[in-house]
Amino acid sequence: MNKIYYHPVSRSLHWIMFILIAVALALIEVRGEIPKGNPLRDSLKSWHMLAGQLVFLFVIVRVLARLRFSAPPALPGGRWQTAGAHAMHGLLYLIMFALPISGVVFYQAAGKEVEFLGWILPQLVAPDPVLKGNIKEIHETMGNVVYFLVGIHVLGALYHHFIVKDDTLKRMLSGKA
């Protein structure tokens, strides 16, 4: 395989993560439109939590794949572009870890157990209404930041594809020039 492209496992994980994050965000947005007391509202929250937990699981797999397969070398470009790309990827990885963890902490601070595929997750915090409110605020803010970060990430890829006309986008779409 050409060394300028991401490994097929890395590409697959990238798109799986995109889908899981999009699903988690869509579910919680739709939930907000459903009246309280409607059973669908609780189902959407459960599915949102499952999608978030899968994000956490897959980001661990993604980091392991990144260590195993590494990223291809940066394409030629300005130092500011390389630094910006590294910063963006760092922020995206940070948020892919922080959002699911904050969701679990938020739910547990509300005094509720968090279930994942039939297993009850270990209790990370004791019930605490103040902590619940603070973590909820942080969790929701990070959820909104995801839209911004993904938007910039996509715009950067499109900029490279249509303006710079390099292989930045193709590196994550296929292994072929």
- As given in the structure block, the two tokens for residue 105 are 């902490």
DSSP 28-97: HHHHTTSPTT-HHHHHHHHHHHHHHHHHHHHHHHHHHHHHHH-PPPPPS--HHHHHHHHHHHHHHHHHHH
Q: Give the domains, in start order, of the chain with CATH numbers.
A: 8-173 (1.20.950)
Single pTM value for the model: 0.92
Question: Per residue of the chain (177 residues), what is the pLDDT tens digit?
Answer: 457 899 999 999 999 999 999 999 999 999 999 999 999 999 999 999 999 999 999 999 999 999 999 989 888 888 898 899 999 999 999 999 999 999 999 999 999 999 999 999 999 999 999 999 999 999 999 999 999 999 999 999 999 999 999 988 999 997 665
Cα 73 to the chain's mean position, in Å? 23
